[in-house]
Homo-oligomer: A and B are copies of this chain.
Amino acid sequence: MSVESLSALDRSTLRERSLEALRSAILSGRYRPGDHLGEVELAGSLGVSRGTVREALRHLQQEGLVTAGNRGMLRVNSLSSAEVHELFRVRAALEGLAVREVIASPRREAAAETLRTAVERLSDEGEPAARMEADLAFHLLLCRLSGNSMLVEAWQRLEGRMRVAILNGAAWQAPMMARDRHVPIVEAIERGDVEAAVRVVDEHMAGAAEHFARATESS
Contact = CB atoms under 8 A, between A and B. Distances in A.
Contacts of A161: 150
A166 to B, nearest CB: 15
A58 interface: yes
A72 to B, nearest CB: 8
A151 B82 CA distance: 13
A49 to B, nearest CB: 11
A149 B83 contact: yes
Contact of A150 (B59, B62, B86, B151): B86
A90 B92 CA distance: 12
The size bracket of the interface on A is 20 to 34
A90 B83 CA distance: 21
Contacts of A87: 150
Contact of A89 (B58, B59, B90, B101): B101
Task: Report how many copies the assembly holds.
Answer: 2
A154 interface: yes
A136 to B, nearest CB: 17
A151 B90 contact: yes
A47 B58 CA distance: 22
A55 interface: yes
A169 interface: no
Q: Which of A55, A87, A90, A158 has the most CB of B within 10 A?
A: A90
A150 B97 contact: no
Interface string A51-93: 1001100110010000000000000000000010011011011
A124 to B, nearest CB: 29
A157 interface: yes
Interface of A: 51, 54-55, 58-59, 62, 83, 86-87, 89-90, 92-94, 96-97, 101, 148-151, 154, 157-158, 161
